[in-house]
Amino acid sequence: METEAPKIYEMEDYDPKAAGSVDQTEIHISETEEADIMRAKVLDSVNHRKLNARQIQLSSIAGAIGAALFVAIGSGVTAGPVALLIGFIFWATVVYSVAQCQLEIVSLFPLDGSFIRLAGRMVDPALGTMVGYNHFFAQTSFVIFEATVINTLVSYWGYSESPAILISVSLLLYLAINVYRADLFGEAEFWLALGKVLLAIGLILYTFITMVGGNPLKDRFGFRYWKDPGPWAGDSPSTRLESFINAVNTAGFCMGGPEYISMIAGEASDPRKTVPRAFKTIMARLVVFFIGGALCVGILVPYNDPTLVTGDGTYAGGSPYVISMNRLKIPVLPSIVTAALLTCIVSGGNAYTFNASRSLHALALDGKAPAALRRLNKKGVPYLAVIVVMLLSCLAYLALGSTSAKVLNWILNFCTAATMLNWCVMAFTYVRFYSAMKAQNIDRKEFLPVYSKLQPFAGYWALFWACLFIWLQGYSVFLKGNWNVATFIFNYGIIALAGAIGLFFKIYQRTPFHRSKDVDLYSDLDFFDALDQHYQQKKDDLPPTTVKDKVMAKLF
């Protein structure tokens, strides 16, 4: 059974002529009827919001941590261990600033397709359309990346069958998890993300143990590679600047988080509580997993190790961790890590499928994509949007006609640029949101369910650096002897494509740029306040009684 996503018509929009009514008298509804309508909307939303706090916390980690953190990070090591660490620390401040922007605005309006629709509401509908399609293309590309990676990963064990087999298995698995019900996605992501967390923590412990001599060679190498070959690739200021930009590019591809929480918000139970908690834990994730990971790989492998770029002919072999294990003559463990990376791929592809389908669904809700994509199954899943994502993900089969390494590099460049463009829009949306509150004399502390002490400075910080690095990320193609048409297109093509889409809708639909004093800051607030009251009443009526429930309530 399928249903059309409900569309709520406010009474002030009612037009008797359009309805074919002869009676032109004003229509009134009683307070009781208004309460009944609101109650029905709340209950319908509750039925749609299937992701609990536990699933949201781990799903946001799953969306942020992919195989790139354990493997693609190796390309950043070639910048030098100090350059990589500084690059990751610097970019973490940008990601955290974006999270602070989303913390305020998404907690206030936890809509389906959150930051996509809010860009249209706070700035210009054409901007919302642009970032919506940009996010859709980026997330679909990430699905393709994960489906392609799995072949190069298992080739570590000598697998030589047709890549089409594992690509097909991957895509069918993503489809099965995402097409039926959201809580199935949430539960799968919870356990897969838990595996990612354990892997990340395990590799941090591995780094510490081996660097102090806990390895078959009894080699206490410590920070040896920070001295020889050195902390920074390159001798001149210009080459060191290039190394830093390369490190930031790697961080831009590996790091994520704010956009995933924003997209999940539309299907989160008790969003005014669960969404802020997820945003507030981003700093801990950035420090432990990303900055910690950058520190670890810089300790384990010298930046001039030849296998960092090409591996041993396999994707897994290019992982700094696997390279380190092979250098230290550690048996079995490289295969265990490779197997663990498979769970990262399944989890990452699963999360990207969810985000891509919700992006397309959000565009359809705003009339910027075919209306059929609004359709939900009886479990509240936009199944047609999921199917479209899977069909486009079949582009992964292009790996059959080219080397996987080349395809992966193209996708990596494309996704890095698209992600930075997302953050530009998210930061700019917040700056306009902040300006609107100020222009309308709204007290942030009273108006917002949660606010950041770093605003508006965090918004400007994220906006400046994201806008700068979206142009710098592909700089190497302009260096002497490096020009390549395909590389240029994958580095900058998404900017042109997304910009063209936004411009088309701007001209075709004549969308308005919202002035600060005209931005709508009140629509939907009554609904979300009522939704918040519903969940609070439910907690009061059914408090946690078992030890397990109490522990989960404290943790999540």
- Could you say which architecture CATH assigns to the domain 2-18+51-523? Up-down Bundle (1.20)
Instruction: Compute the distance between CA of residue 396 and CA of residue 389 in angstroms, rounded to an integer.
Output: 12
Instruction: Tell me what pLDDT residue 211 has.
Output: 92
Q: Which amino acid is at 144?
A: I
* Element spanning 2, H or E: strand 2-3
* Confidence band for 424, pLDDT divided at 50, 70 and 90: very high
With left for phi above 0 and alpha for psi between -120 and 50, is residue 395 left, alpha or beta?
alpha
Cβ neighbour number for residue 390 with a 10 Å cutoff: 20
In sequence order, the 6+-apart residues with CB closer than 8 A to the CB of 186 are: 50, 51, 52, 55, 56, 59
Instruction: Compute the distance between CA of residue 189 and CA of residue 170 in angstroms, rounded to an integer.
Output: 15
- Partners of residue 376 on adjacent β-strands: 3
* Confidence band for 17, pLDDT divided at 50, 70 and 90: very low
Mean pLDDT of 447-459: 91
- Of 5-14, 217-226, 352-361, least confident by mean pLDDT is 5-14
Instruction: Tell me what pLDDT residue 7 has.
Output: 43
Instruction: Tell me what pLDDT residue 299 has.
Output: 92
Task: Return the higher-pLDDT residue of 408 and 88.
Answer: 88
Burial of 387 (0-12, 13-18, 19+ CB in 10 A): middle
The closest of 208, 218, 199 to 333, measured between CA atoms, is 199
Instruction: Tell me what pLDDT residue 313 has.
Output: 47
Asked whether 42 and 276 are in contact (CB, 8 A), the reply is no
Instruction: Compute the distance between CA of residue 378 and CA of residue 48 in angstroms, rounded to an integer.
Output: 10
pLDDT-above-90 percentage for the chain: 22
In sequence order, the 6+-apart residues with CB closer than 8 A to the CB of 253 are: 68, 72, 412, 415, 416, 419
pLDDT in tens, 495-525: 999 999 999 999 988 888 999 999 999 888 8
Structure tokens at 67: 């195989």
- Of 215-229, 280-294, 303-317, least confident by mean pLDDT is 303-317
Instruction: Tell me what pLDDT residue 366 has.
Output: 82
3-state secondary structure of 448: coil
Residue with tokens 């499928």: 353
DSSP assignment letter at 480: T
Q: Which amino acid is at 475?
A: Y
Instruction: Compute the distance between CA of residue 237 and CA of residue 245 in angstroms, rounded to an integer.
Output: 12
The closest of 227, 321, 263, 249 to 112, measured between CA atoms, is 263
Structure tokens at 129: 């359309």
Structure tokens at 352: 């990207």
Describe the crossing of helices 31-48 and 525-541 by its angle, rounded to 10 degrees: 70
Instruction: Tell me what pLDDT residue 28 has.
Output: 62
Cβ neighbour number for residue 478 with a 10 Å cutoff: 10
- 231 half-sphere exposure, CB direction, 13 A CA radius: 7
Question: What's the chain's average pLDDT?
Answer: 82
Cis ω for the linkage preceding 271 (within 30 of 0): no
pLDDT in tens, 154-184: 877 777 777 788 888 889 988 988 887 777 7
Cα angle: 434, vertex 440, 445; to 5 degrees: 55
- Whether residue 316 is predicted with pLDDT greater than 60 in this model: the reply is no
Cβ neighbour number for residue 482 with a 10 Å cutoff: 11
The closest of 493, 494, 481 to 418, measured between CA atoms, is 494
- Partners of residue 2 on adjacent β-strands: 377
Structure tokens at 79: 């910048």
- Whether residue 21 is predicted with pLDDT greater than 50 in this model: the reply is no
Q: What is the dihedral of CA 384, 386, 391, 392, to 10 degrees?
A: 120
Task: Return the higher-pLDDT residue of 513 and 541.
Answer: 513
- 54 half-sphere exposure, CB direction, 13 A CA radius: 15
- Whether residue 326 is predicted with pLDDT greater than 80 in this model: the reply is yes
Residue 197 main-chain phi, psi, to 5 deg: -60, -45
3-state secondary structure of 3: strand
Structure tokens at 199: 């892997």
Asked whether 360 and 376 are in contact (CB, 8 A), the reply is no
- Of 51-60, 253-262, 472-481, least confident by mean pLDDT is 51-60
Instruction: Compute the distance between CA of residue 302 and CA of residue 285 in angstroms, rounded to an integer.
Output: 26
* Element spanning 377, H or E: strand 376-377
The answer to whether the Cα torsion of 523, 521, 276, 124 is positive or negative is: positive
Cα angle: 77, vertex 57, 288; to 5 degrees: 30
- Of 76-80, 85-89, 120-124, 211-215, least confident by mean pLDDT is 76-80
| Domain residue extents for the chain | 2-18+51-523
Asked whether 316 and 71 are in contact (CB, 8 A), the reply is yes
- Whether residue 38 is predicted with pLDDT greater than 90 in this model: the reply is no
- Whether residue 13 is predicted with pLDDT greater than 60 in this model: the reply is no
pLDDT in tens, 348-358: 888 888 889 88
Q: Which amino acid is at 324?
A: S
Mean pLDDT of 243-265: 84
- Of 1-15, 16-30, 211-225, least confident by mean pLDDT is 1-15
- Whether residue 24 is predicted with pLDDT greater than 60 in this model: the reply is no
Instruction: Tell me what pLDDT residue 400 has.
Output: 65
